[in-house]
Amino acid sequence: MIEDLLQRSGFTVGIILVLSAFLASRIRLLIQLRHIKGPFLQRITGIPHSLAFLGDDGHNWYNTLSQKYGQLVVVSPTMLLTSSPDLWARMNTHPGYVKSKWFYHAARFDWRGDNIFTQTSIEKHDERRNQMIRGYSGAENLTLEADIEFVVAKLLHLIRSRYAGQRKSMDLAQKIQFFALDVISAIGFGECFHLLDADDDPNNYVNSIREGLSVVCKQAALGTWWLNSIPFIGPKPNLDLKTTNGFYRIASLHASMVEAREKEFHEQKKSGVVPRADMLTSFMKKGLFGIDLKIENLLQIVAGSDTAAGSLRAILLYVMANPRVYKTLQAEIDSTEESGLVSQAPQIVKFSQVKECVYLQAVIKEGMRIFSPINTPLSRNTPPGGDTVTIDGDEIYLPGGIQIIPSFKAMHRNKSVYGRDSDVEVFRPERWLEERDEKKLEAMKREHHLMFGDGRWQCLGKAIAMRELSIVTFELFRNFEWTLVNPEKPWKDLNLFGLHSTSDMWVQVEERKQLRPAI
């Protein structure tokens, strides 16, 4: 009886000690963060942040906070938000900063392993990156350029054969998603999904990504991310296609393909010749097999499609909505074509040709700035001993172990980089061509570059994305005239885990008169 009582009071004392330690650490943080601006409620609870994360437009919540409170804002008792490019760069390059588990492990979809994106250990991440960098860079993907051109030709063919000049409205958001998925499947693992050929998504890739992102979003917002790492309890794809959805559906769809590719690779390696030259082959050459290869294959699809699709939709929408830009862009495309320096339609333009189109490149840059394809709160923990940073000329101490997230929307409109007036809110590609202050232009370019991350975690698909965007934007405006069907509400856009899930971008499209015969 006495023993029982002692045991119980020992347990109660234990709980009281844990709660007191927690409370003391929260009070310490409250004091340490008192010099950083932010609403009082967010200093004592993470609920407003969780609600924003669960909503459809968390990026606007972050942007509003940044506009109101400045480049560093308290978003929860242990978390800050920044729109400072310098701080975001530092979080990616300064020793001691690490990826936060609350965010990255929420995106873990299999307890057996991490992909390069969800990996929070620096050593393991760097090792995996070494295995993948050549595959993503295209160094071992000899058909990269041809594959992108091949899919662009499919997109043009679909528009031309089913929509152009037929007074038929087309959901451009959907075609762009098909395009991005066809590109990543063709260059990623040599098996184009052929969604553009079918003008349909019979395997439900688009919805599966949407469902997967929505689950991940909830895990991060509700703080249940840690479940994903528990062996046997955490998630493991159910490979039965009939009963599975979200990311697991894609994993199930691909499991046998990845296994077959692995088998083929080992057989060919034995015979001394591995003829394939896609990303998957490159990963295998670097020793990536089994569950790791499957997990990375899923990442290829998600990271490689929604990001590029989100950028392209924004570029197209903003050009269609700006007659001056539309005309100037087409004038550049036409004069480039007339100069005879680019492949003539119906051939697809080469990246080496289109990257010389300065106005087009400025349009792409500006489209991605004004409507960032990524608004993901890529959270970092500060070094254990804290860090002192300079923001707006002030030195600020950041305590150890708190989390900092970037607000990309606010960063891309940062007035100390782009100018101190409302011009930062305007889509104006000319800003990239007319700026005479070299220091300012450098700062703008640096900020823009940071949309792909920085340092050891910098985007592995940047070169692919820029190729894809340059070629397809050139071809869509060289070949067609575009009209928005609902300019007052041009699309439906949801923010899911910081990626744009866009639909109902209705357009009508006409063949441009001076064009040569169809492909």
- 278-304 CB burial, b ≥16 within 10 A, e <16: bbbbbbbeeebeeebbbbbbbbbbbbb
- Give the whole-angstrom CA distance, residue 400 versus residue 383: 5
- Please state whether the peptide bond connecting residue 346 to the residue before it is cis, i.e. omega within 30 degrees of 0: yes
- Give the whole-angstrom CA distance, residue 57 versus residue 392: 28
The nearest distance, CB 144 to ligand HEM, in angstroms, is: 10
Residues at the site binding ligand HEM, with contacts judged by CB under 6 A: 116-117, 129, 184, 299, 303-304, 307-308, 311, 373-374, 378, 451-453, 457, 459-461, 464-465
Residue 240's closest CA among 229, 231, 230, 248?
Answer: 248
Residue with the two structure tokens 């109902």:
504
The nearest distance, CB 182 to ligand HEM, in angstroms, is: 13
Tokens of 303: 């990271």
- Give the whole-angstrom CA distance, residue 196 versus residue 346: 18
Query: Which helix (H) or strand (E) segment is 403 a member of?
Result: strand 403-406
The nearest distance, CB 30 to ligand HEM, in angstroms, is: 29
Tokens of 365: 């840059």
The nearest distance, CB 224 to ligand HEM, in angstroms, is: 20
The nearest distance, CB 79 to ligand HEM, in angstroms, is: 16
- Which lies closer to ligand HEM via its Cβ, residue 114 or residue 211? 114
The nearest distance, CB 298 to ligand HEM, in angstroms, is: 11
Characterize the bridge pairing of strands 72-76 and 499-503.
unpaired
Ranges of H-type helices in 190-204: 195-198
Tokens of 144: 């990269």
- Which lies closer to ligand HEM via its Cβ, residue 79 or residue 116? 116
- Which lies closer to ligand HEM via its Cβ, residue 265 or residue 452? 452
- For 335, half-sphere exposure in the C-beta direction (CA atoms, 13 angstrom radius) is 10
The nearest distance, CB 62 to ligand HEM, in angstroms, is: 15
**77 with 46: CB under 8 angstroms?**
yes
- Give the whole-angstrom CA distance, residue 160 versus residue 384: 58
Residue with the two structure tokens 């299999």:
110
The nearest distance, CB 483 to ligand HEM, in angstroms, is: 26
- Which lies closer to ligand HEM via its Cβ, residue 42 or residue 297? 297
- Give the whole-angstrom CA distance, residue 133 versus residue 147: 19
- Which lies closer to ligand HEM via its Cβ, residue 246 or residue 304? 304
**33 with 68: CB under 8 angstroms?**
no
**479 with 156: CB under 8 angstroms?**
yes
Tokens of 50: 């969780």
- Give the whole-angstrom CA distance, residue 224 versus residue 102: 8
- Which lies closer to ligand HEM via its Cβ, residue 69 or residue 427? 427
The nearest distance, CB 368 to ligand HEM, in angstroms, is: 6
- Which lies closer to ligand HEM via its Cβ, residue 345 or residue 354? 354
Q: Which residue is nearest to ligand HEM (CB)?
A: 461
The nearest distance, CB 486 to ligand HEM, in angstroms, is: 25
**92 with 453: CB under 8 angstroms?**
yes
Characterize the bridge pairing of strands 403-406 and 79-82.
parallel
- Which lies closer to ligand HEM via its Cβ, residue 337 or residue 493? 493
The nearest distance, CB 32 to ligand HEM, in angstroms, is: 25
Q: What is the 3-class SS of 259-318, one letter each residue?
A: HHHHHHHHHHHHHCCCCCCCHHHHHHHCCCCHHHHHHHHHHHHHHHHHHHHHHHHHHHHH
Query: Which helix (H) or strand (E) segment is 20 a member of?
Result: helix 2-32
- Which lies closer to ligand HEM via its Cβ, residue 172 or residue 405? 405
Residue 1's closest CA among 9, 263, 332?
Answer: 9
The nearest distance, CB 457 to ligand HEM, in angstroms, is: 4
- Which lies closer to ligand HEM via its Cβ, residue 295 or residue 345? 295
Give the single-character DSSP code of 421.
S
The nearest distance, CB 245 to ligand HEM, in angstroms, is: 23
The nearest distance, CB 371 to ligand HEM, in angstroms, is: 11
- Which lies closer to ligand HEM via its Cβ, residue 336 or residue 470? 470
**497 with 339: CB under 8 angstroms?**
no
- Which lies closer to ligand HEM via its Cβ, residue 42 or residue 470? 470
* Diameter of the chain measured on Cα atoms: 96
